[in-house]
Chain A
Amino acid sequence: MGRGAEEEYDYLFKVVLIGDSGVGKSNLLSRFTRNEFCLESKSTIGVEFATRTLEVEGRSVKAQIWDTAGQERYRAITSAYYRGALGALLVYDVTKPTTFENVTRWLKELRDHADANIVIMLIGNKTDLKHLRAVATEDAQGYAEKEGLSFIETSALEATNVEKAFQTILSEIYRIISKKSLSSTPHPSSATVKEGKTITVGESQSTTTTTSCCSSSS
């Protein structure tokens, strides 16, 4: 996790990473938050958490990302984390068709447990394994359009499009949020959000925050 000056931001967005086990969720997260890729990574048990603050549409946005275990049985624990999330990155592995076929089930999961207007982005990961590709870009693209999702292909290993994927979903969330707050609160910058709480799309205020206490101890 970062340190020091990272405490200042205008917005805090909660995002969840979901998708079948082994598609590369944890490495997408570590690539995005720490620019790291771990060849010897362990399977995720339960949930993991990381943050990064970045510039989105000229504002500083802190992304609070929850990485979840992919195995179906873990949904008993992980689905609680969908609540309050503004965005979901739904990941499949471009070399494993079943992980793409299961996207439909993950969407249902989100419909059952997440907020209705959550922003969803479909991510086809592991494009570096070119010779093993088994899900065509066009198929996924077509599916995403049909379901109204944004879509991108990434390689966490080669750091391709990872930044762009997160940027895109955060911008989308920002657009929705700023529209909402524009219509309901005249001075969004006066509202504050306690660190750790998350903004829900439906809420009228609560968008901007500047926390500056507590120097990092790590």
Chain B
Amino acid sequence: MEKKRLDDYEQGPVPSPRAVDRFGFVKPDNTSDGLIKSRSAYEYERYKEERRVRKWRKMIGVGGSDWKHYLRRKPHVVKRRIRKGIPDCLRGLVWQLISGSRDLLLMNPGVYEQLVIYETSASELDIIRDISRTFPSHVFFQQRHGPGQRSLYNVLKAYSVFDRNVGYVQGMGFLAGLLLLYMSEEDAFWLLVALLKGAVHAPMEGLYLAGLPLVQQYLFQFECLVREHLPKLGEHFSNEMINPSMYASQWFITVFSYSFPFHLALRIWDVFLYEGVKIVFKVGLALLKYCHDDLVKLPFEKLIHALKNFPGNAMNPDTLLPLAYSIKISKRLEELKQEYEKKTGKGARELSEKPMLPGESN
């Protein structure tokens, strides 16, 4: 599977013996772990975590066998539990179940291998150039030509062949990289397909197609939502000539996986895969809301800096996510989409209505 040579590199960082956090990211040198929890608090958390895992195991059954049944009977329970966070040891499996990628994989045996081994892609060099620039501080992706970099390359190359209209676009690597930390290459590939082609939710390939039509639409929607939900800040933004493309394009293009703390990104992804892109808007609004009183005082440059460097307490999933859930936008989001489509003529993408999933089309 890894016959492709990866020697056209720039500086490949050598794997370092530095300390890593629980997710495998190299800790910054000056790391001060901040809160050192007492032993009993730690024990209690572990106990809670174990109880949660047991509940989850019961819910999904062996290898996911009970999942669909449970989902049909108790969708609200599933939603509530997912919002609390999927246990890390089950995350990979559950992500595949809720995204619909498991079904795609079963319907398309051998397809991934075919794409990786036999096909060539026009994007190969572009992909290689970015491999060492994707999660460069994670041990799995640090080793030059190591298993992490090889699987990242394979998944991206396979996708660029699978959908030659999309090909490879910077940012996709962060999606694939995040997935690869929780599942095999082939699974990660099909999850990428499920997302971009829209197995469960609206397809997201428009984020990467020529003209980045979906990015433009999302930014339009987001700007309107900011003005409606946070009018004072919205006005401040327009006075300072700040528009969301300056700070939020990364949020949408990589679903918060580019620069947000990893534990927060994972929690967002749990909800994102189950509830769809709505959560990206909600989290974005929640961040602005949380920091509102500081942001409205800042002039242009400091504002941009602040919007790219939210303080640690704003990024705590247990405060940020409940705030995000409390923001209701579904209806308005849909209206704004139609408004955008009217404004731009045809709509961001006609083909987004009709997902073309392998296995379904034949």
Closest chain A residue to B168, Cβ basis: A71
Question: Main secondary structure on chain B at its contact with chain A?
Answer: loop
Q: Please provide the chain B residues from 135 to 192 with a CB less than 8 Å away from any CB of chain A in the complex.
A: 135-137, 169-171, 173-174
Write out, one digit per residue, whether chain A residues 41-65 have a CB within 8 A of any chain B CB (1) or not (0): 1111111110100000000000010
**Contact of A43 with B134 in the complex, beta carbons under 8 Å:** yes
**Contact of B241 with A197 in the complex, beta carbons under 8 Å:** yes
Which A residues are in CB contact (< 8 Å) with B241? 196-197
User: Which range contains the number of A residues in contact with the other chain?
Assistant: 20 to 34
**Contact of A49 with B136 in the complex, beta carbons under 8 Å:** no
Say yes or no: is B121 at the interface (Cβ < 8 Å to chain A). Answer: no
**Contact of B212 with A39 in the complex, beta carbons under 8 Å:** no
Question: Main secondary structure on chain A at its contact with chain B?
Answer: loop
Closest chain B residue to A62, Cβ basis: B301
In the complex, what distance in Å separates the CA atom of A47 from the CA atom of B135? 18
- How near does chain B come to A8, taking the closest CB pair, in angstroms? 14
Say yes or no: is B133 at the interface (Cβ < 8 Å to chain A). Answer: yes
Closest chain B residue to A66, Cβ basis: B246
| Residue of B129, B170, B259, B309 most packed against chain A (CB within 10 A) | B170
Which A residues are in CB contact (< 8 Å) with B208? 73
Q: Please provide the chain B residues from 266 to 323 with a CB less than 8 Å away from any CB of chain A in the complex.
A: 294, 298-302, 304-305, 308-309
**Contact of A51 with B301 in the complex, beta carbons under 8 Å:** yes
Which B residues are in CB contact (< 8 Å) with A47? 245-246, 249
**Contact of B302 with A46 in the complex, beta carbons under 8 Å:** no
Q: If the complex has contacts A45-B258, A80-B245, A196-B240, are A40 and B301 also in contact, measured as CB distance less than 8 A? A: no
In the complex, what distance in Å separates the CA atom of A51 from the CA atom of B300? 12
Say yes or no: is A216 at the interface (Cβ < 8 Å to chain B). Answer: yes
Which A residues are in CB contact (< 8 Å) with B216? 76-77
Which B residues are in CB contact (< 8 Å) with A217? 294, 298, 302
Closest chain A residue to B253, Cβ basis: A45
In the complex, what distance in Å separates the CA atom of A218 from the CA atom of B258? 22
In the complex, what distance in Å separates the CA atom of A76 from the CA atom of B130? 20
Instruction: Please list the residues of chain A having a beta carbon within 8 angstroms of any beta carbon in chain B.
Output: 1, 21-22, 39-49, 51, 64, 69, 71, 73-74, 76-77, 80, 195-197, 211, 214, 216-218
Instruction: Please list the residues of chain B having a beta carbon within 8 angstroms of any beta carbon in chain A.
Output: 10-11, 13, 126, 129-130, 133-137, 169-171, 173-174, 208, 210-212, 215-216, 240-241, 245-246, 249-250, 253-254, 258-259, 294, 298-302, 304-305, 308-309
Q: Can you pick out 28 interface pairs between chain A and chain B where the beta carbons lie within 8 Å of each other?
A: A1-B302, A1-B305, A21-B126, A40-B136, A42-B136, A43-B134, A45-B170, A45-B171, A45-B250, A45-B258, A46-B253, A47-B245, A48-B308, A49-B304, A64-B301, A71-B126, A73-B208, A73-B212, A76-B211, A77-B212, A77-B245, A77-B249, A195-B301, A196-B240, A196-B300, A196-B301, A216-B302, A217-B302
